[in-house]
Amino acid sequence: MPRKPLTEDEKSIVREKAAVAARRIMDEHGAEKVTIRGIAKEVGMSAMSLYTYFENKADIVTYLQVQAVAELSAELSTTAASSNGQDTLVAELGRSYVAFAEEKSGEFNLAFRTEEHGGVMPTVVRDGLMQALRPLHDAVSATVKEARSTEEVDRIVAGIWSGWHGYALLKQAGCVVDQTPIFDAKTAAATFGAARATAEVAAH
């Protein structure tokens, strides 16, 4: 008698077990030691069966990255929800971002991993990061009163994010300790929004 196909919920349970095993291997031995065969052994199934749930190692890493980005997104959303106000929100979000990188360094570094993807972040992970940064985008839009194009707001957000991310990496490397170069939206607008004015002057 043919085996009854697994339900979507049952498939999700298997995928999650495999993901947990992959993360355990990654934490204990490094990402390069994560293999379909090794994961299958951890969860008590054949490698061939595991290919039913994941196409390859990169697919598993992507699954883990989506989870890591979701954690970051939750942290930033919580910060935004409990903020003291728009004037301080950008700084609060920055502190939350840096704290996540420090306290959950494994998840943080995993979120930006590209080695299994040919050096390019998977679209689903990149889209998740953009969603995670929505509180920052909204804060910039609300704080910078001057009329700004969508492209300019995006540039300001990218500048602030670069400051957060660069500082987090420098802190991980022990290059900085207590310095916290977190832009407020107005300073960032003056810094990165200037690119528009410079381009317009050059064009004329």
Residue 122 region by backbone torsions, left for phi larger than 0, else alpha for psi between -120 and 50, else beta:
beta
Domain boundary among 54, 75, 94: 54
Residue 39: domain span = 1-54
Of residues 191, 185, 187, 188, the one with CA closest to residue 88: 185
CATH number at residue 25: 1.10.10
**pLDDT per position as a tens digit, 75-126:** 999 999 998 887 789 989 999 999 999 999 999 999 999 999 999 999 999 9
Of residues 122, 5, 112, the one with CA closest to residue 56: 122
The model's confidence at residue 195, banded by pLDDT at 50, 70 and 90, is very low
Note the pLDDT of residue 181.
63
Task: Give the sign of the dihedral formed by CA 172, CA 175, CA 178, CA 181.
Answer: negative
pTM over 0.95: no
> Which positions ≥6 away from 199 have C-beta within 8 Å?
none
Note whether 104 and 157 are same-domain residues.
yes
Give the residue carrying structure tokens 């804060």.
139
Cβ–Cβ under 8 Å, residues 194 and 159: no
Mean pLDDT of the chain: 86
**pLDDT per position as a tens digit, 37-83:** 999 999 999 999 999 889 999 999 999 999 999 999 999 999 999 98
Note whether 157 and 194 are same-domain residues.
yes
Q: How far apart are CA 13 and CA 19, in angstroms?
A: 10
The number of folded domains in the chain is 2
